[in-house]
Amino acid sequence: MSSTVKGNYEGDTQVLKKVLVANRGEIAVRVLRTCREMGIATVAVYSELDRDALHVRLADEAYALGGQTAAESYLNTEAILDAIEKSGADAVHPGYGFFSENTDFARAITARGVTFIGPPPEAIEVMGDKISSRIAAEAAGVSGVPGRSQTLVHADEVIAFGEKFGWPVAIKAAYGGGGRGMKVVKGADEAAAAFESAQRESLAYFGRDECYVERYLTWPRHIEMQVLADTHGNTLWLGERDCSCQRRHQKLVEESPAANFPDEVRQAMGEAAVKVSKACGYVNAGTVEFLYQDGEFYFLEMNTRLQVEHPVTELVTGLDLVEWQLRIAAGEALTFGQDEVRRQGHSIEVRINAEDPSGGRFTPSPGTLTKFTQASGPGVRMDAGYMEGDTVSQYYDNLIGKLVVWADDREHARRRMLRALEETVIEGLATTIPAAERILEHQDFADGIHSTKWVEEVLDLSDLVVNVTSGEADDQGRLAKAVTAEVNGQRYEMTLYLPEMQAVAGVAQPTKKARRSGGSSAVIGQAGAVTVPMQGTIVKVMVEVGDAVEAGQTICILEAMKMENPITAGAAGTVTELKVTAGDSVANGDVVAIVE
Ligand code: MV4
All residues at 6 or more sequence positions from 505 whose CB lies less than 8 Å from its CB, including other chains = none
The alpha carbon of 409 and the centre of ligand 1 are apart by a number of angstroms equal to 28
Question: What residue ranges of the chain are covered by domains with CATH 3.30.1490.20?
Answer: 146-215
- Looking at the predicted structure, is the pLDDT value of residue 1 above 50? no
238 lines ligand 1 (CB under 6 A): no
Share of the chain above pLDDT 70, in %: 90
Closest CA relative to residue 567, chosen from 575, 452, 199: 575
- What is the reported pLDDT for 480? 65
Q: Evaluate: CB of 217 within 6 angstroms of ligand 1.
A: yes
In this prediction, residues 416-427 reach a mean pLDDT of 98
Predicted confidence at residue 108, as pLDDT, reads 97
pLDDT tens readout for residues 32-79: 999 999 999 999 999 999 999 999 999 999 999 999 999 999 999 999
C-alpha dihedral, 548 to 549 to 550 to 554, nearest 10°: 170
Delimit the CATH 2.40.50.100 region(s) of the chain: 523-595
Report the pLDDT value the prediction gives residue 503, as an integer from 0 to 100.
47
Would you tell me which CATH number, out of the four given (1.20.120.1200, 2.40.30.10, 1.20.120.80, 3.40.50.20), belongs to the domain 6-117? 3.40.50.20
Rounded to two decimals, the pTM is 0.82
Q: Please give the torsion angle defined by the CA atoms of residues 42, 45, 49 and 54, in that order, rounded to the nearest 10 degrees.
A: -10
Residue ranges of the chain that CATH labels 3.40.50.20: 6-117
Name the packing angle between helices 103-110 and 121-128 (round to 10°).
Answer: 180
Domain 146-215, CATH among 3.40.50.720, 3.30.1490.20, 2.60.40.420, 3.30.70.260: 3.30.1490.20
What pLDDT score was predicted for residue 471? Answer: 60
Q: What atom of ligand 1 comes closest to residue 145's alpha carbon?
A: 15
pLDDT at 501: 57
Q: Which of 41-50, 268-277, 496-505, 525-534 has the lowest mean pLDDT?
A: 496-505
Find the range with the poorest average confidence among 10-14, 237-241, 438-442: 10-14
- Per-residue pLDDT at 527: 56
Asked if residue 355 has pLDDT above 70, the reply is: yes
| Residue 510: pLDDT over 90 | no
Q: What's the CA-to-centroid distance between 281 and ligand 1, angstroms?
A: 26
Question: Strand 399-407 relative to strand 591-595: parallel, antiparallel, unpaired?
Answer: unpaired
3-state class percentages of the chain: helix first, strand second, coil last, to nearest 5: 30, 30, 40
CB 22 within 8 A of CB 98: yes
Q: What is the DSSP letter of 593?
A: E
pLDDT on residue 572: 87
CATH number for the segment(s) 523-595: 2.40.50.100
Amino acid (one-letter) located at 522: A
Torsion of CA 408, 413, 414, 418, to 10 degrees: 140
Cα–Cα distance, 384 to 386 (Å, whole number): 6
Q: What confidence category does residue 26 fall into, taking pLDDT thresholds of 50, 70 and 90?
A: very high
CA–centroid distance, residue 300 to ligand 1 (Å): 8
pLDDT at 76: 97
Supply the pLDDT for residue 467.
84
Q: Which atom of ligand 1 is nearest to the CA of 218?
A: 3
Q: Which of 49-53, 121-125, 416-420, 466-470 has the lowest mean pLDDT?
A: 466-470
**What pLDDT, in 10s, does the model give residues 195-204?**
999 999 999 8
The pLDDT assigned to 470 comes to: 65
CA of 179 to the centre of ligand 1 (A): 6
Confidence check: pLDDT of 505 > 50: no
Specify the pLDDT at position 523. Answer: 39
